[in-house]
Amino acid sequence: RNQRVLKVPDGRMLQKTSVYLQAKGITRLLIDGQVYKL
């Protein structure tokens, strides 16, 4: 599997960046040790 982990400091940024991240093929984020699916 080709997985990359991005650390996002502010959860509010997710709303702005989720479309951009999905366009790059990123579907999961690791925040404070928890994995979130977009």
H helix intervals, 1-38 = 12-23
Residue 17's pLDDT is 78
Residue 33's pLDDT is 78
Per-residue pLDDT of the chain (38 residues; tens, 9 = 90+): 566 776 766 767 777 777 877 888 887 777 777 787 76
Residue 5's pLDDT is 73
For residues 22 and 20, what is the distance between their CA atoms, to the nearest angstrom? 5
Residue 1's pLDDT is 59
